[in-house]
Structure 1
């Protein structure tokens, strides 16, 4: 499974950040995730106007590391 891993921070306080994750249930590759994630993140930003996406990446689910 492929995971879209991203970090969001509050617009009013950029030091307040959270790791977030979206797991794709269908069998896609990392390259497809990179393309699909752009629209996923745009929709996420619309639903969460007080936050900004700082970093993001696609990776295999369970891959070690906490930052994008």
Structure 2
């Protein structure tokens, strides 16, 4: 399971990026992922203070785009 978050630079709000954070979680537990992802997103935000997280979601690994 991955937490996919979308963040934009605080000083340049039109500069945004997608981050994929691999979390060890059963694919059958998306609700558990959403609850525990709050900590993951908060930790990422703390480590990247120049970025502001706009939204995030949990995505099973097999549903991620293979493009990136």
Q: Deviations 1:3-42 (Å, cap 9, x if unpaired)?
A: 1111111000110001110112343511111011101111
TM-score, normalised to structure 1, is 0.80
Aligned residue in 1 for 2:7: 8
**2:54 partner SS:** strand
Match of 2:60 in 1: 60
For residues 49 and 41 of structure 1, the distance between their equivalents in structure 2, rounded to whole angstroms, comes to 12
Structure 1 or 2: more strand by fraction: 1
Structure 1 residues not aligned, in runs of 5+: none
More helix by share: 2
> Under a length normalisation based on structure 2, what TM-score does the superposition of the two structures give?
0.80
8 Å contact from structure 2 (residues 25, 33) kept in 1: no
For this pair of structures, how many residues does the alignment match?
64
Cα RMSD, aligned residues only: 1.7
